[in-house]
Amino acid sequence: MRGFYSNFRELQLNEQEGQDYQITASRNWHRVLIIAPHGGKIEYYTSQIAKWIAGEEFAWYSFEGIINGDNRRLHITSHNFDEPIVLQALQEADTVVTIHGLKNSIEEFLMIGGLDSTFGTELRVALQHHGFIVKESKQGYRGERVTNICNRGCTGKGIQLEISFALRKRIFEDAECRIQFIDKIRTLIKGRIIRG
Ligand SMILES: [Zn+2]
């Protein structure tokens, strides 16, 4: 999806914080950072999913559209997303996962992108093992640009999860599915921290 604004500064000059958008984040930063750059009403449920993955111990950040009506103009393309608070948080993060939404409201699936292909493969295998459908990332959804927000942590490579609307809704409404999905991702992240 092409962004309406080409960077955060441009958005900030045209939109009202607290009325059109809001930024929320965990109290402390952590080496693990889960980001919803298109949260709130821009890509529904992504803020909530990011917070669930972060839980109590990891850091999270959420940029949220709160307009009554169409929030699409608040969508800053991932490789242009340069909001200063999250850029600062990224300096301390070596494991970065961004949560996005794909429109599909019929099929429950996700696509895994980002430059951390090792972690991406681990995630794909684990989620598939638990019955989740992981599709090959299409062109434009691979999160391969170095300036993609998922790749701007200290290692220069992160993970981007593009989750269909149907699967996001399921995760939100079905507690069993949610536990499977969230716990699996959290367990893998913890494993990476232990391995260093
Ligand atoms: Zn997105």
Across-strand partners of 134? 110
Distance, in Å, from the CA atom of 184 to the CA atom of 84, rounded to the nearest integer, reads 30
Spacing of C-alpha 27 from chain mean position: 18
Tell me the two tokens of residue 128: 């598939």
- CA of residue 39 to ligand 1 center, whole Å: 8
- CA of residue 69 to ligand 1 center, whole Å: 18
> Do the beta carbons of residue 96 and residue 153 sit within 8 Å?
yes
Crossing angle for the helix pair 175-195 and 165-173, to the nearest 10 degrees: 100
- CA of residue 191 to ligand 1 center, whole Å: 26
Distance, in Å, from the CA atom of 163 to the CA atom of 118, rounded to the nearest integer, reads 20
Distance, in Å, from the CA atom of 93 to the CA atom of 73, rounded to the nearest integer, reads 28
> Which pLDDT tens digit goes with each residue over 22-52?
999 999 999 999 999 999 999 999 999 999 9
| pLDDT tier, 155 (very low <50, low <70, confident <90, very high otherwise) | very high
| Domains of the chain listed by start with CATH number | 8-191 (3.40.630.100)
**CA atoms within a 13 Å half-sphere pointing along the CA-CB vector of 13:** 7
Give me the count of residues in the chain.
196
Distance, in Å, from the CA atom of 162 to the CA atom of 9, rounded to the nearest integer, reads 25
Distance, in Å, from the CA atom of 2 to the CA atom of 181, rounded to the nearest integer, reads 29
Distance, in Å, from the CA atom of 170 to the CA atom of 95, rounded to the nearest integer, reads 26
Tell me the two tokens of residue 119: 């972690």
> Which pLDDT tens digit goes with each residue over 67-115?
999 999 999 999 999 999 999 999 999 999 999 999 999 999 999 999 9
| pLDDT tier, 139 (very low <50, low <70, confident <90, very high otherwise) | confident
- CA of residue 159 to ligand 1 center, whole Å: 13
- CA of residue 45 to ligand 1 center, whole Å: 11
**Residue of 2 and 178 predicted with greater confidence:** 178
